[in-house]
Amino acid sequence: ELKVEQNPLFLSMQEGKNYTIYCNYSTTSDRLYWYRQDPGKSLESLFVLLSNGAVKQEGRLMASLDTKARLSTLHITAAVHDLSATYFCAVDISWGRDDKIIFGKGTRLHILP
Amino acid sequence: DTGVSQNPRHKITKRGQNVTFRCDPISEHNRLYWYRQTLGQGPEFLTYFQNEAQLEKSRLLSDRFSAERPKGSFSTLEIQRTEQGDSAMYLCASTRGGDSGNTIYFGEGSWLTVV
- Residues 6 or more apart whose CB falls under 8 angstroms from that of B64 comprise B79, B80, B81, B82, B83
Q: B26 touching A, CB under 8 A?
A: no
- Rounded CA gap, A22 and A111, in Å? 17
Provide, as residue numbers in chain A, all residues whose Cβ is less than 8 Å from the Cβ of B91.
42-43
pLDDT at B100: 57
Interior/surface letters A9-25, b for 16+ CB within 10 angstroms, e for the rest: eebebeeeeebebebbb
* CB-CB under 8 Å, A105 with B42: yes
* Shortest Cα–Cα distance, A41 to chain B (Å): 7
Say if residues B104 and A100 touch (Cβ distance below 8 Å). Answer: no
A9-44 pLDDT tens trace: 999 999 999 999 999 999 888 789 999 999 989 999
pLDDT at B96: 86
Provide, as residue numbers in chain B, all residues whose Cβ is less than 8 Å from the Cβ of A50.
101
Provide, as residue numbers in chain A, all residues whose Cβ is less than 8 Å from the Cβ of B42.
88, 103-106
pLDDT at B101: 64
* Residue A50 binned pLDDT confidence (cut-offs 50, 70, 90): confident
Q: B108 touching A, CB under 8 A?
A: yes
Residue A97 pLDDT exceeds 60: no
pLDDT at A4: 95
A53-91 pLDDT tens trace: 899 999 999 999 999 999 999 999 999 999 999 999 999
Assign residue A49 a region: left if phi > 0, alpha if psi is -120 to 50, beta otherwise?
A: beta
Query: Which of B38, B46, B98 is CA-nearest to residue B77?
Result: B46
pLDDT at A55: 93
Of B35, B104, B109, the CB nearest to A45: B104
pLDDT at A29: 82
* Shortest Cα–Cα distance, A51 to chain B (Å): 10
Provide, as residue numbers in chain B, all residues whose Cβ is less than 8 Å from the Cβ of A106.
41-42
Low-confidence ranges of chain B (pLDDT < 50): none
Helix (H, G, I), strand (E, B) or coil at B106: strand
